[in-house]
C-alpha cells in the first residue's frame, strides 16, 4: 500500500500524484456505472491528462451522467432555471461534457458499455468506442482490458458505528467482484491503484456493500467540497404508460419476486401495484372494465387480483425509487434468507416467520441441526433469530443468564425450558431487496438517508453477478438463488418488437447504439430457467417520427437485443401477449392483437404474405379498438381518473414548468415537418396575449419584455403554444 489505509488525503492533486506514482502514466481507469463516479477525483485526473500529453488515459465505464440541456432557444430558456435548481451545486463530469462536444484530447479515450438512452446516438467517437457486453461480463472485460486504477465514491462508516469501514452504497455492483481480481493482479506484479472519494451525501448501506478502508490505496476526503448526488428527476406517466403498468401489475403473484427498471413504465407498474394492494376495489374496477380475465387469461393463470398478503421480494440490478415506495406501502416485504434449505422450508410453508418449537423440530427432521444441539447449531440458530442472541453453548449445554439447559430436543423438560427461555420471537436477518446500483430523484436519496436501521438492514446492495444470473458465485449459489426467486417477474422495456418475437432495446438497424444490453438478456434468460418465472417486455405500441405515428410492433427489423427464441410475455397499452411455447402463427396474431389499430391490417398483410398467418384470417372486430381515444376512455370508464395521476410519486417541475413544458412539447410536435414549421410560424406571428394572461409564464421564460427579433418571435411562439394547449373554457389567468 502506498499510503496508510486509514490516512485520508485532502487534495485531489495529491491523489493524482499518488496514482501516477503507483501505476505510471499509462492509466486504464475503471469507474462505476452511474452515480458512484468520484467526480472531484476524476475531474482532477482528466485535467492532468489534458495538461500532460504523455499521460495515456483510457476510461472504461457506463452511464456517464450529465444534466440535460436544450437545443432550441426556447428549450434553453425553459431548462435554464430548472437545471440550476437541480444541478447548480453538483460538479459536472468534465470528460463527459467534452465527450458530448466531441473535444476529448488525443491522449484520452472513453469506452462505455451502456449509454444514457439516445445520448450518443449521433456521437461518432462514442459509437466507435462503445463496448457491447452483458452487465455480468463487464468485470471480465475490465480485467482483460488491463484496468489498473479503480476509483469510486463511498460513504464513510464513522457516522454509522462502523469506524474503519466505507460503504460502496450505490455501486457494489461491479466493485465487489473487481477488487479481489485487482489484488490478484497486484500480487502477480502488476501495479494497481484503488481510490475512494468520501461523500457524506451518499446513503449508507451495510451488508455486502460495507468494506474496509484497507481495500483502498488512498481515500480522498474534503468535506467542504462534498456535493449533492446527481438527480434523475421524476418524469410524467402518460395514460398509455399507466395502462402498460396496470397490465403488468396483473401478472404479479403474491409471495413472488420482482425486477423492474427505471423510467415512466417502471413507475407506472409500481403505482398500479400499490393501487392493487391499498385500494383493491379501485384496481379491480379497472381490471373488470378492461375485461382482463376474459381477454388475457395469462393474468389469472400466472398473476393475481388480490392484495399482497405474503408480499413481494425485490431482486433487481437497479434499485429504482419505486422499490422504496413498495416497501413503504407494505408490498415489498417478503424476506429471503441466505440458506437454501431454510428458504425452501419457508417457501413450502413448513417454517413460519414466527419462531416456535415446531421450527426446531422441522430443522432437526431435515437434518439442519442435531439433537442434542451442538455449538455450530446454536451459532446458526442465533444468526437467524431462532434462538436469542444471548444464548451460549458451553459444556454441551445451552446457557442464558444464570440458566443452564439441556440441548436435547427429545427431552420434554428440556423442550419446555427451551421454549420459555431461549427461543427467539421471529426469524431475523431476512432481506426484502437485493440491488446492484441505484440512481433516482433527490427525494429518493433523502429517503434512503432517513431509513431506519431496521429497514436499511432489509436492503442488501450487492454484486450484479449475484442478481443477474443463477450461476454459482461467492455471494450466493444457484440453488439458493432459485429458492429465493420464486414466481419471478422480470419486467423490462423495449423500443420495438418484431412479429417473430425479437426485442429491440439497445440499438438501431444501421448499427448505431442507443443505450446498451445491460442486464436485460440475463433477466430474460433467467426467466426461462427458473420454475414459475416469466419475462415481461413492456413497450408503447407506437411513437411519433417527424410528426407521424409509426408502429413499435414491426414485421421485421435489422437488429435485435433479445432473440426470438427467448420470447415470453409482451405488454403494450392494449394488452398482454403470451408468446412462450406458441407456434409462429399464434405469436404473430397475439402481437398484432396488442398493436395500435392503425397498423394492424398492414402487419397482418405482411404476415400473410410471408406465409406466417393463414390467408383466410380476418381481424376480429374486438381487436379494432386499439386507439388513442380508447386509452383516454379506459380509466374514465372504470371510475375516478385521479387513480392514475401523471406524477404519483412527486415531481421536480413547478406548476409553471408543467404548463410551459406541455406548450413546448406541443410546439415541437407541430413543427416536426417543414410544412408544420411554416404553418406554426405564421400562426405564432398572429398570436397575442392582449390581457396579460401569460405574464407570469412569459416572465419564467425571460420573455415578458422581449428585445430584438429573436426574442419577440420566441415570445409569440410561447404564446401560441400556450393557446394550443390551454382549456378553451378557461378564461381566467393561468395558474402558476
Please give the average pLDDT of every successive group of 10 residues along the chain, which has 736 residues.
Answer: 61 97 97 97 98 98 91 90 92 96 96 93 93 94 95 94 95 96 95 97 97 96 96 92 97 98 94 97 94 96 97 97 98 97 97 96 97 96 97 95 95 95 96 97 96 96 94 79 98 98 97 95 96 97 92 98 98 98 98 98 98 98 94 78 89 92 89 88 89 91 91 92 70 34
421: burial class by Cβ within 10 Å (0-12, 13-18, 19+)? middle
In whole angstroms, what is the distance from residue 499 CA to residue 687 CA? 46
* Integer Cα distance of 146 and 246 in angstroms: 46
Neighbours of 468 (CB within 10 A): 25
Separation of first and last alpha carbons in the chain: 58
ω into 372 cis (within 30 of 0):
yes
**694: enclosing H helix or E strand:** none
Assign 57 to helix, strand or coil: strand
Q: Domain 239-335+433-629 belongs to what architecture?
A: 3-Layer(aba) Sandwich (3.40)
Bridge partners (DSSP) of residue 399 are 392, 404
Interatomic CA distance for residues 413 and 374, integer angstroms: 18
Angle, helix 321-328 to helix 442-449, in steps of 10 degrees: 50
Q: Report pLDDT for 729.
A: 37
With residue 293 as reference, give the H or E element that holds it. helix 292-295
Element (H, E) at 265: helix 264-278
Detail the DSSP E strand segments found in 137-248: 149-156, 165-167, 193-198, 210-212, 218-220
Closest CA to 631 of 329, 211, 207, 286: 286
Long-range contacts formed by 583-586: CB under 8 A, 24+ apart = 584/500, 584/612, 585/612, 585/613, 585/614
How high is the pLDDT of residue 636? 78
Determine the pLDDT at residue 440. 95
Q: Are strands 165-167 and 149-156 parallel, antiparallel or unpaired?
A: antiparallel
Instruction: Single out the residue of 212, 209, 274, 205 nearest to residue 237, CA to CA.
Output: 274
Give the list of residues 6+ apart from residue 395 with CB closer than 8 angstroms, or none: none
**DSSP-derived 3-state class of residue 560:** coil
Which residues make Cβ contacts (< 8 Å) with residue 141, sequence separation at least 6? 60, 113, 131, 133
b (16+ CB within 10 A) / e for 14-40: ebbebbbebbeeebbbbbbbbbbbbbb
What nine digits make up the cell of 660?
410551459
DSSP helix/strand/coil, 732: coil
Distance CA 76, CA 88 (A): 15
- Cα gap 300→258, rounded to integer Å: 18
pLDDT of amino acid 673: 85
Looking at residue 639, its pLDDT comes to 67
Q: Where in the chain is the domain with CATH 3.40.1080.10?
A: 8-83+90-225
Nearest Cα residue to 138 out of 103, 165, 112: 112
Inter-residue contact 15 to 44 (CB < 8 Å): yes
Distance, in Å, from the CA atom of 137 to the CA atom of 521, rounded to the nearest integer, reads: 12
Q: Cell numbers for 345, please give them.
A: 422450508
- Please give the CATH superfamily to which domain 8-83+90-225 belongs: Glutaconate Coenzyme A-transferase (3.40.1080.10)
Range(s) of the chain covered by CATH 3.40.1080.20: 239-335+433-629
Q: What is the pLDDT of residue 162?
A: 93
At 476 the pLDDT is 67
Residue 49 phi, psi dihedral angles, 5° rounding: -65, -35
Specify the pTM.
0.93
Amino acid at each position: 500500500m502506498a499510503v496508510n489505509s486509514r490516512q485520508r488525503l485532502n487534495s485531489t492533486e495529491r491523489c493524482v500524484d499518488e496514482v501516477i506514482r503507483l501505476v505510471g502514466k499509462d492509466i486504464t481507469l475503471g469507474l462505476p456505472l452511474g452515480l458512484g463516479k468520484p467526480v472531484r477525483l476524476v475531474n482532477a485526473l482528466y485535467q492532468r491528462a489534458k495538461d500532460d500529453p504523455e499521460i495515456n488515459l483510457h476510461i472504461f465505464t457506463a452511464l456517464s451522467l450529465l444534466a440535460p440541456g436544450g437545443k432550441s432557444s426556447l428549450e434553453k430558456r425553459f431548462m435554464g432555471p430548472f437545471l440550476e435548481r437541480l444541478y447548480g451545486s453538483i460538479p459536472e463530469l468534465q470528460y463527459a461534457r467534452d465527450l458530448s462536444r466531441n473535444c476529448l484530447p488525443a491522449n484520452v479515450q472513453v469506452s462505455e458499455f451502456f449509454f444514457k438512452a439516445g445520448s450518443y446516438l449521433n456521437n461518432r467517437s462514442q459509437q466507435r468506442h462503445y463496448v457491447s457486453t452483458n452487465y455480468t461480463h463487464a468485470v471480465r472485460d475490465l480485467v482483460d482490458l488491463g484496468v489498473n486504477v479503480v476509483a469510486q465514491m463511498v460513504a464513510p462508516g464513522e457516522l454509522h458505528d462502523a469506524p474503519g469501514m466505507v460503504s460502496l452504497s450505490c455501486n457494489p455492483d461491479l466493485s465487489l467482484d473487481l477488487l479481489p481480481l485487482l489484488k490478484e493482479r497486484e500480487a502477480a506484479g502488476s501495479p494497481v491503484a484503488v481510490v475512494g472519494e468520501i461523500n457524506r451525501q451518499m446513503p449508507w448501506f451495510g451488508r455486502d456493500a460495507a468494506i474496509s478502508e484497507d481495500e483502498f490505496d488512498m481515500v480522498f476526503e474534503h468535506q467542504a467540497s462534498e456535493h449533492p448526488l446527481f438527480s434523475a428527476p421524476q418524469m410524467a406517466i402518460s395514460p398509455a404508460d399507466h395502462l402498460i403498468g396496470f397490465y403488468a401489475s396483473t401478472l404479479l403473484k403474491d409471495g413472488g419476486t420482482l425486477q423492474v427498471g427505471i423510467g415512466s413504465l417502471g413507475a407506472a407498474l409500481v403505482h398500479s401495484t400499490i393501487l392493487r394492494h391499498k385500494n383493491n376495489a379501485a384496481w379491480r374496477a379497472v381490471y373488470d372494465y378492461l375485461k382482463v380475465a376474459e381477454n388475457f387469461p395469462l393474468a389469472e393463470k400466472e398473476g393475481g387480483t388480490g392484495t399482497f398478503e405474503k408480499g413481494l421480494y425485490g431482486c433487481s440490478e437497479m434499485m429504482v425509487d419505486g422499490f422504496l415506495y413498495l416497501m413503504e406501502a407494505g408490498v415489498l416485504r417478503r424476506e429471503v434468507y441466505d440458506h437454501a434449505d431454510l428458504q425452501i422450508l419457508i417457501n413450502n410453508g413448513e417454517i413460519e416467520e414466527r419462531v416456535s418449537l415446531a421450527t426446531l423440530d422441522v430443522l432437526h427432521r431435515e437434518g439442519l441441526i442435531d439433537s442434542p444441539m451442538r455449538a455450530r447449531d446454536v451459532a446458526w440458530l442465533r444468526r437467524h433469530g431462532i434462538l436469542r442472541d444471548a444464548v451460549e453453548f458451553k459444556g454441551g449445554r445451552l446457557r442464558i443468564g444464570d440458566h443452564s439447559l439441556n440441548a436435547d430436543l427429545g427431552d420434554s423438560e428440556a423442550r419446555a425450558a427451551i421454549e420459555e427461555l431461549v427461543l427467539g420471537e421471529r426469524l431475523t436477518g431476512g432481506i426484502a431487496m437485493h440491488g446492484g446500483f441505484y440512481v433516482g430523484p433527490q427525494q429518493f436519496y433523502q429517503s434512503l438517508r432517513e431509513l431506519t436501521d431496521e429497514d436499511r438492514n432489509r436492503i442488501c446492495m450487492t454484486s450484479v453477478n449475484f442478481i443477474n444470473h443463477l450461476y454459482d458465485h461467492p455471494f450466493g449459489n444457484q440453488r439458493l438463488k432459485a429458492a429465493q426467486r420464486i414466481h419471478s417477474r422480470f419486467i423490462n422495456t423495449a423500443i420495438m418488437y418484431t412479429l417473430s418475437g425479437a426485442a429491440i432495446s439497445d440499438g438501431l438497424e444501421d448499427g448505431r447504439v442507443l443505450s446498451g444490453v445491460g442486464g436485460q438478456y440475463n433477466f430474460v434468460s433467467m426467466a426461462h430457467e427458473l420454475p414459475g418465472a416469466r419475462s415481461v417486455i413492456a413497450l408503447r405500441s407506437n411513437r411519433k417520427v417527424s410528426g407521424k405515428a409509426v408502429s413499435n410492433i414491426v414485421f421485421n427489423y435489422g437488429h435485435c437485443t433479445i432473440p426470438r427464441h427467448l420470447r415470453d410475455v409482451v405488454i403494450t397499452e392494449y394488452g398482454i401477449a403470451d408468446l412462450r411455447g406458441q407456434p409462429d402463427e399464434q405469436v404473430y396474431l397475439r402481437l398484432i392483437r396488442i398493436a395500435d389499430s392503425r397498423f394492424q391490417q398492414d402487419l397482418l398483410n405482411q404476415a400473410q404474405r410471408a406465409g406466417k398467418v393463414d390467408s383466410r384470417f380476418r381481424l376480429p372486430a374486438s381487436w379494432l379498438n386499439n386507439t388513442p381515444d380508447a386509452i383516454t376512455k379506459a380509466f374514465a370508464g372504470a371510475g375516478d381518473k385521479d387513480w392514475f395521476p401523471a406524477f404519483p410519486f412527486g415531481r421536480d417541475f413547478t406548476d409553471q414548468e408543467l404548463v410551459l413544458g406541455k406548450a413546448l412539447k406541443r410546439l415541437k410536435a407541430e413543427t416536426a415537418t417543414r410544412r408544420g414549421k411554416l404553418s406554426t410560424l405564421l400562426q405564432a406571428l398572429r398570436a397575442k396575449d392582449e390581457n396579460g394572461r401569460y405574464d407570469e409564464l412569459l416572465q419564467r421564460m425571460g420573455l415578458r419584455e422581449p428585445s430584438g427579433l429573436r426574442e419577440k418571435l420566441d415570445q409569440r411562439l410561447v404564446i401560441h403554444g400556450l393557446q394550443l394547449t390551454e382549456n378553451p373554457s378557461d378564461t381566467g389567468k393561468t395558474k402558476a
